[in-house]
Amino acid sequence: MPVTAGQVVVPDNVSQTATFTQGTNTLPMIIDQIHQPTAFKQRGYDLTKHYAGPRPRGGVHAYRLTITAVDTTLPVTSGYLYNEFLRMVEGHVVAQTHVNLLYAKK
C-alpha cells in the first residue's frame, strides 16, 4: 500500500476489491478440506487469492499482524508466497511493527 503524508489507509475489504498485486494465502489446504463455496466460484472469486480473515475451528486463537515498511518498490508478481516476500524485503526494511490479535469464532 502506498504511503501518503506519512499515513497508510487500508480500506475495509481492500484485498477483495483492489487491483494491486497480492500474494497467495495459506487457505488451499483448508479449502481442500471444506471445498470452496459454490457462490464464490460462480462469482469468479478465488479464496486463495485474497485475505479471507481468521479461520479457527473453535475457541480463541491468537494472530499476529505485522506491518513492514520498505525503502523501495518490491518486484512482486501476482501469487507470490510469503517466503518470497521475506527474501524481497531483505536489506530494504526501514520500519516494522506488529500487533497481536485475538479472534473467537462466533
As a three-state string, the secondary structure of 30-80 is HHHHHCCCHHHHHCCCCHHHCCCCCCCCCCEEEEEEEEEEECCCCCCCCCC
- Can you say whether the dihedral through the CA atoms of 14, 21, 102, 94 is positive or negative? negative
Q: Which amino acid is located at 45 in the chain?
A: Y
Q: Consecutive sets of 10 residues in the chain, 106 residues long: mean pLDDT of each?
A: 72 75 66 57 62 72 87 88 90 93 82
The verdict on pTM exceeding 0.85 is no
What residue has cell string 475489504?
13
pLDDT recorded at residue 18: 72
pLDDT recorded at residue 95: 92
